[in-house]
Amino acid sequence: MMSAKHKIVATAVERSWIIEDAEVPLYPGLIKTIMKRDWTASDLSKRAALVNAAKGFSPFAMVDLSDEDVAEMMQDNEDLLSATHISTSDVKASRARLKPKRPPDAAGFLLMLKRFTNLLHALFSSQSPMYKQMYQIVRTFRDYSPNARSKLSHEAKTSILWIILLQARRFAEGNMIGNDACLGEFTALVHAIQAKNCENISHVEVPTDLLEPSRKRKAQVNDTRDGGVTDDKEEERTKNKKTRVNVLYIRTARI
């Protein structure tokens, strides 16, 4: 069951939505973040880490959960709190649903942005600089045609969410003020979205695990060429090459 404090927080947040059809899933981890004001997770004054991407104040925390999923998470949380013994595997299992995931289709991607904007409005009001930026981003994407939104590549959507995460961390640290309120990549992101030039949006610090499997394999191949990683096929090719060289050497010696 949800505690009285949790209910108060959930009710207050639910009454402050500004965008319709974008209800924020108030699961235990998010409610705990709100109550403790742990907006930066463990990324304070550091680069954003993949392990913390779905924690704190983040667009990746806007996971797609049904009412049944939230109820199960609530029950799991209650079980952990009342348990006399908790193992590491129990803790990891409770966090499994909160891992940052790749953006879904265009509709799901826009829903993540809407939910994040709603959460900003509920927690920090319409005067929040981060809310104003996000609301403008959502409005701009709404003006895109369905066909244009569907053309957003996986890398572009992932990069957009990652750059928003970086700016959200900056906002959470209280640094979104003055002439340097926005990060350079966030400013470039806003301009690219307004210019409908999203296919060129990328960020070198987006974790490989959030990109497409093909991109991940490409990165592994590049590491192999650089001497960093060697896959099984590469090892097999190397062994076969050495075997052919040895056989040629033996034959030459006999002649």
pLDDT of residue 224: 53
Let me know if 118 is exposed, middle or buried by CB neighbors in 10 A (0-12, 13-18, 19+): buried
pLDDT of residue 37: 84
Residue 160: band (very low, low, confident or very high) from pLDDT cuts 50, 70, 90:
very high
The pTM of the full predicted model, rounded to 2 decimals, is: 0.72
pLDDT of residue 41: 81
pLDDT top residue among 135 and 20: 135
How large is the average pLDDT for residues 214-227?
52
Element (DSSP H or E) covering residue 125: none
pLDDT of residue 108: 92
pLDDT of residue 158: 94
pLDDT at 143 over 90: yes
pLDDT at 88 over 70: no
pLDDT at 172 over 50: yes
pLDDT of residue 146: 93
pLDDT tens, position by position, 187-208: 999 999 999 999 889 999 999 9
pLDDT of residue 248: 38
Instruction: Confirm if 149 and 141 have CB atoms less than 8 A apart.
Output: yes
Residue 82: band (very low, low, confident or very high) from pLDDT cuts 50, 70, 90:
low
Task: Supply the mean pLDDT for the chain.
Answer: 78
| 12-26, 121-135, 170-184: range with lowest mean pLDDT | 12-26
pLDDT of residue 250: 39
pLDDT top residue among 210 and 28: 210
Residue 76: band (very low, low, confident or very high) from pLDDT cuts 50, 70, 90:
low
- The angle, 0 to 180 degrees and rounded to 10, between the axes of the packed helices 184-194 and 154-172 is 130
Burial code (b: 16+ CB inside 10 Å, e: under 16) for 122-158 equals bbeeeebebbebbbebbeebeebeeeebeebebbbbb
Residue 23: band (very low, low, confident or very high) from pLDDT cuts 50, 70, 90:
confident
pLDDT top residue among 160 and 25: 160
